[in-house]
Amino acid sequence: MAMEQYGEAIWLDGVFHDPKDANTSVMSHAIHYGSGFFEGIRAYATPDGPAIFQLKEHIERLFRSCAYYHVTIPYTVDELVQATIDLVDRNGFEACYIRPFVFLGTPWQALMAKDTEVHVGISCWQLGEYFEKGTGIRAKVASYRRVSSTMMPMQAKAAANYMNSQLLKGEALRDGFDEAIALDMNGNVSEASVANLFLVKGNKISTPSLDCSVLDGITRQAIMRIARDQGYEVIERHIGRDELYVADEIFLTGTAAEITSVAEIDHISINGGRNDVANELLGLYRKAATGHLEEYAGWLTYVTPAVAE
């Protein structure tokens, strides 16, 4: 990605920088030990200008992720919310993907250095489809397991956790698939490399419970609410691998993925690639994210608030 695709500015440590100048030392703690935390957020084009989807919820989760590792962010939630709004406005994007991130800088020499500086940055860029929507993607159950929360806090959106995701995704791509589905250490279905998983059977929609090494995705929570509002029974539970192959539908959710149907797993067609429920929920989700459903208006933070007449 060329640096100009990041727009005019990246916010770093309270200052707007030209993207090519938003740099850090190669001796940063994060580079040597993986001590970083991040969020992925979308801003959508709406009739009232760009609106950021569940911005405060994402920033609050960033603070929780850091808290697991005793990292203190030197800003408040409200300050980072405002910085994000200002960044999108400054770059003039109608719709974009936003990446707030926290990382430890220097000194790096000690694994648990007390005086290591905490840096905070925010970048944004225009993003199309993470997965092509339509007929559904092809997935495989990965040979690598999802890391257990007895080993690392999997509710933290920590950079180090995504080495596990890279192994999952890389294996899937090398084997000719679009995505990987991980099992947890007990053999229960966990999630995809960077997305939560849902299984449809009849009028019931199931998703792995959080004790299956699942990140409590913000899009996951939104889809659970939308589905329940549409009359579906939504259950968080343990899901066995064999249930995947006989589901009525499988779909993934995430900020980048939005709602993506899975048509095939391990070369087995999932009910002929049916995606009725996934398409229904995707349509409602995008209406909510673009300001067309009043009942979900509280999920949106407008970059340029409407001026009262």
Catalytic positions are: 157
Q: What is the CA radius of gyration of the chain?
A: 20
| Residues 169 and 257 sit within 8 Å (Cβ to Cβ) | no
Q: Residues of 77-88 as b/e, b for ≥16 C-beta within 10 angstroms?
A: eeebbebbbebb
At residue 240, what is the residue type?
A: G
Cβ within 8 Å of residue 156, ≥6 positions away:
37, 64, 65, 66, 68, 69
- Residues 27 and 199: their CA atoms lie apart, in Å, by 44
- Residues 56 and 152: their CA atoms lie apart, in Å, by 25
CA 98-131-205 angle, 5° bins: 95
Q: Please provide the DSSP assignment of 93-156 as one string.
A: -SSEEEEEEEEE-S--SSTT-TTPPEEEEEEEE----SS--SS-EEEEE-SSPPPPTTTS-TTS
Collapsing DSSP to helix, strand or coil, 223 comes out as helix
